[in-house]
Structure 1
Amino acid sequence: MTADLDLTVTGPGHALRDRLLALDFRIFEAVAARHWPGADPLLPKLSRSANHGLLWFGTAAALAATRSPRARRAAVRGVASLALASATINTLGKRSVRRPRPLLDAVPRVRQLKRQPITTSFPSGHSASAAAFATGVALESRPLGAVVAPVAAAVALSRIYTGAHFPSDVLVGAAFGAGAAFAVRGLVPT
């Protein structure tokens, strides 16, 4: 299947897009050059823990184990939102935009993931899942959402910090994820 949008093509008629991609690259380079104490060992592990939604399924199980009806509903809504976001990103998003992963030259080796992703970079599935789960939980319970949201934000940041994604991949993925949570709410009101 050929891509609908190829972000690797530059030239006339793409001036605005090229400027935005250049800004995206500069932000990526700035994050790669930045050193946050404690982040080097933590963010790559956090990023790996979110592979295949495992972090979020574990969080949902912990919420359900509290035996609180509201926490259980939040867990179910979070998982349903994640499922919709993941299905959308992996079937439509990754297949309709061609964008290679960032080059890892600027990312310190200690931060890089042991196994680099092989799919296209745009949009970030990890960020979509994180935002979908956190938004879904928050739509059911604001206090629980406030607990989950910083972890979701850290997962999204980890995708840039480890060199797996450009910032725009993460932002668009997170927007898709939040949108999936609102779509689930539209189907099954809180």
Structure 2
Amino acid sequence: MSDRRQKISALSLVHDLATMDQALYETVTVTRTPTLDTALRRLSAAADHSKISFAVATGLALCGSRPRRAAVLGVAAVGIASATANLLGKRLVRRPRPHRAEDSPFPGRHVPMPDSASFPSGHTASAVAFAAAVGPAFPAAAVPLGLLACAVGYSRVHTGVHYPGDVVAGALLGTGSAALVVALASRADA
């Protein structure tokens, strides 16, 4: 395949992914879920500035040396994920936030629209980083924190501030940040 064909094929793939991302976002915005709206709005707001992760880390730190180590790893992973998403990713990509129509069918589910770029989701990156770093060090927390991270990611789409692709990118960034922290910690222990 020629270079020109490869570039056209890559551009077509990017266009198709963007179209699918927009369609998924729009599907969520028009789906009536009154029971979930309040809970997801509150969860999204509670995840601002990694407040949930820091609260869990504080609780873990009070439970002994193994959970304390897990908390330290989780907080370190949040730091890397947050800095990478907010200081690098958003500034490089500069994807606009989703458009919210003035006549949105469910305005009560929205959280305030951040001023920063949309891609990647920093909330998701940080929540996933925390869960993925804590899990290997303290397995009892792996599933609950993983589910919480997934809920935080979905809440960002549900509340109208991110496209699904932003959340997927944030999750990948969070996973990578956690893997880096865990690898560095293992190396330091060796």
TM-score (norm 2): 0.88
Higher Rg: 2
Q: Following TM superposition, by how much is the alpha carbon of 1:13 offset from its aligned partner in structure 2, in angstroms? A: 7.7
Structure 1 residue 50: Cα displacement: 0.8
Counterpart residue number, 2:70: 74
Identical-residue share of aligned pairs (%): 41
**2:85 aligned partner, one-letter code:** I
Give the distance between the partners of 1:64 and 1:25, measured in 2 at CA.
41
1:38 is matched with which residue: 35, 39, 42? 35
| In 1: Cα distance, 2:116 partner to 2:159 partner | 16
Instruction: Give the equivalent residue in structure 1 for 2:93.
Output: 97
Residues 24-68 of structure 1 show CA distances to partners (whole Å, capped at 9, x for unaligned) of 0001111112233521110011101111111110111111122x2
1:129-170 per-position Cα deviation (integer Å, ceiling 9, x unaligned) = 010000011121221111211111110000000011000000
Moved over 4 A (4+): none
Distance in 2 separating the partners of 1:65 and 1:54: 17
Change (3 A) 1:31 1:188: same
CA displacement 1:67-90 (0-9 Å, x = unmatched): x22211111111010001111111
Which of 106, 109, 112 is equivalent to 2:107? Answer: 109
- Counterpart check, 1:47 vs 2:67: no
Across the two proteins, how many residue pairs are aligned to each other?
A: 178
CA contact (8 A) 1:128 1:175 kept: yes
Q: What RMSD, in angstroms, separates the aligned Cα atoms of the two structures? A: 1.8
Question: What TM-score do the two structures reach when normalised by structure 1?
Answer: 0.88
Unaligned runs of 5+ in 2: 1-7
